[in-house]
């Protein structure tokens, strides 16, 4: 049965496109739960859990964590949620993850509402990520260990190879909403809002 209150938004876009920040605001203003798989994995690493110890080298190398791990994490997160009101940030990242999510959402009677795709040129992306690393350091905070130019380039490559095919997956289903991701945070947010159902 489909619950009218359900809402499922999936943010797509390359690393450094600003998905996390925009998803955070959209979640707050629309009463949705943001599910960021990068944050969940980093939290495991910070707490030194068994999972965290296992995935740390993968994050540090800019590689993807195996699909089965991510799918189990998401299944747990969604279990018992009613209504299902979520924004995914950083998931799905592979076709296998997208197909698993489709099945999970069907079981829950919560179809995809929209898939904003944040478009940002490659060179801007690397600059933003390296800046983010530097700014954290300047504030005396620990930068994300994968926010270096070398790992950022690797993450872009992984995005092109493994995640870009999802543009076709959601495009074919009529869910994709391309958004120009260059501009101020507010401008980009307004463009995203304009695509929401
Ligand atoms: P960004 O999009 O800025 O690169 P994220 O915080 O979304 O950063 O992800 C950081 C890292 O966490 C990825 O490079 C990858 O190693 C891991 N990761 C996050 N989400 C997934 C996912 N859905 N599948 C596989 N690995 C993931």
Residues 86-129 have pLDDT tens digits of 999 999 999 999 999 999 999 999 999 999 999 999 888 888 88
CA 10 to chain centre: 7
Q: Is 62 in the pocket of ligand 1 (CB under 6 A)?
A: yes
pTM of the predicted structure, to 2 decimals: 0.92
Per-residue pLDDT tens for 160-175?
999 999 999 999 999 9
Cα atoms in the 13 Å half-sphere on the side-chain side of 56? 12
pLDDT at residue 85 is higher than 90? yes
SS3 per-residue string spanning the chain: CCCCCCEEEEEECCCCCCHHHHHHHHHHHHCCEEEEHHHHHHHHHHHCCHHHHHHHHHHHHCCCCCHHHHHHHHHHHHCCCCCCEEEEECCCCCHHHHHHHHHHHHHHCCCCCEEEEEECCHHHHHHHHHHHHHHHHHCCCCCCCCCCHHHHHHHHHHHHHHHCHHHHHHHHCCCEEEEECCCCHHHHHHHHHHCCC
- Residue 191 domain flag: yes
- Residue 24 domain flag: yes
Cα separation, 88 vs 86, in Å, equals: 6
Q: Which atom of ligand 1 is nearest to the CA of 93?
A: 23
Q: How many domains does the chain have?
A: 1
- Residue 136 domain flag: no
Per-residue pLDDT tens for 8-33?
999 999 998 989 999 999 999 999 99
Q: Is 15 in the pocket of ligand 1 (CB under 6 A)?
A: yes
- Residue 148 domain flag: no
Q: How confident is the model at residue 1 (pLDDT cuts 50, 70, 90)?
A: low
pLDDT at residue 156 is higher than 70? yes
Domain that holds residue 72: 7-120+178-195
Residues noted as catalytic: 19, 93, 132, 144, 155
Cα atoms in the 13 Å half-sphere on the side-chain side of 60? 8
- Residue 125 domain flag: no
CATH number at residue 103: 3.40.50.300
Average pLDDT estimate for 66-82: 96
């Amino acid at each position: 049965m489909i619950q009218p209150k359900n809402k499922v938004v999936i943010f797509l876009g390359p690393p450094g496109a600003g998905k996390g920040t925009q998803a955070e605001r959209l979640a707050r203003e629309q009463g949705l739960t943001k599910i960021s798989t990068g944050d969940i994995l980093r939290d495991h690493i910070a707490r030194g859990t068994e999972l965290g110890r296992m995935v740390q080298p993968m994050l540090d190398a800019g590689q993807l964590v195996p699909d089965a791990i991510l799918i189990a994490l998401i299944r747990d997160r969604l279990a018992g949620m009613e209504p299902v009101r979520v924004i995914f940030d950083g998931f799905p990242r592979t076709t296998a993850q997208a197909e698993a999510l489709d099945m999970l959402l069907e079981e829950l009677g919560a179809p995809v509402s929209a898939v904003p795709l944040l478009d940002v040129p490659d060179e801007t992306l690397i600059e933003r990520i390296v800046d983010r690393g530097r700014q954290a350091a300047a504030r005396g905070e620990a930068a994300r260990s994968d926010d270096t130019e070398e790992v950022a380039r690797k993450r872009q490559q992984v995005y092109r190879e493994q995640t870009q095919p999802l543009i076709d997956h959601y495009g074919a289903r009529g869910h994709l909403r391309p958004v120009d991701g260059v501009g101020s945070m507010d401008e980009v947010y307004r463009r995203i809002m304009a695509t929401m159902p």
